[in-house]
Amino acid sequence: MENSENLSNTISWYRSPLKGELLSDLNQRSDWLGFLQAGGHLGLIFLTGAAAFYAEGRVPLLVLLFIIFMHGTFYTFLLNGFHELCHSSVFKTKAFNTLFLRIFSFLGWYDPVMFWTSHNKHHKHTLHQPDDLEVVLPMKLTLKEYIRSAIVDPWEFYDTFRRTLRFSLGKIVKEDLIGNWEVDDIFPPSEVEKRRQLINWARILIVGHGTIAVVAIYTGLWLLPVLITFGRFYGRWLQWLCGRTQHTGLTDNVPDFRLCSRTVILSPFVRFLYWHMNYHIEHHMYAAVPCYNLGRLHKVIKYDLPYCPRGLYAAWKKIVEIRRKQNVDPEYQYLPELPAH
């Protein structure tokens, strides 16, 4: 889009200064750390899935449902792994990054071509409309939306399946939304190759998850599709709370990631699940830094950052306070206090 290219040349983003050698060190990818993060996350999902299979018929139904719900809780964070793998910053070896990207994309019904095309705009033009429509402020936050996402969200599955099936049949209509963009804005009809990639990946998803359904029917293993095909669509309570802290209640149309992104200090386990995206200011400032190095980056530049809430409770307390003020005054925008140097 011509407008996007013009804007990318005019935004002079502020970034906390780093020495070249230090930034080069922080940018280093590691296959070992990549396997710990990606393999550890998949291993955790495998354990909860195996626990559900073992528990079936051996424990009361409510216990089994709780295990399945916890499986979904961990499964929904595949979105964050998929996001990092799209950045190609997890593994030093490109083939490993590609392999795990395909795995995460399949498990979560995600399309890497679709996501990266839009997400790249989000990084270039963060919260500058109309060039960033991945996140639009003010974000709608309702208790009803949270409860639906927190427990089970059949509507999201329906929308995802319907779009994927339509793409697999070669039908891409401009009303399909990617974030808040119409698909033609991201993939105009002239982008024949990219549209072909969308169609091919949609076919892989339909055939792959269809095969899982056939195997489940043939073998009677009803948990297979519950744990794999539908795993993304329930138990999102924690991922939703983490993900919505990134930009909600902050300021748009400013050239400073410290004002339009939020860093939250989380416990080591939640930080692992969330793929360290709690360090969100740092991620936007230096998007090439692997997620497992963002904690180090935070320590180096925290002198230059606004107050970073400790824990989700503190973060959401502030977000609710901001949203209440915006409900009274729609023009109100919260500006975090920046350190004085």
Across 87-108, average pLDDT:
98
Copy the structure tokens of residue 132.
Answer: 């960033």
Copy the structure tokens of residue 272.
Answer: 């692992």
pLDDT band of residue 5 (cuts 50, 70, 90) is very low
| pLDDT per residue as tens digits for the range 185-207 | 778 888 889 899 999 999 999 99
- pLDDT recorded at residue 3: 35
Across 246-252, average pLDDT:
94
- pLDDT recorded at residue 277: 98
Q: What's the mean pLDDT when you consider all of the chain?
A: 92
Copy the structure tokens of residue 312.
Answer: 């989700």
18 in Cβ contact with 302 (< 8 Å):
no
**Calpha distance 38→86 (Å, rounded):** 13
> Does pLDDT of 178 surpass 70?
no
Across 321-330, average pLDDT:
91
Query: Please, how many CA atoms are within 13 Å of residue 190, restricted to the half-sphere of its CB?
Result: 2
DSSP H or E run through 296? helix 294-301
- pLDDT recorded at residue 141: 82
pLDDT band of residue 2 (cuts 50, 70, 90) is very low
pTM of this prediction exceeds 0.85: yes
**Calpha distance 187→174 (Å, rounded):** 9
- pLDDT recorded at residue 180: 73
| pLDDT per residue as tens digits for the range 128-158 | 988 888 888 888 788 888 888 899 999 999 9
Backbone angles phi, psi at 40, to 5 degrees: -65, -40
- pLDDT recorded at residue 61: 96
| pLDDT per residue as tens digits for the range 29-87 | 999 999 999 999 999 999 999 999 999 999 999 999 999 999 999 999 999 999 999 99
pLDDT band of residue 6 (cuts 50, 70, 90) is very low
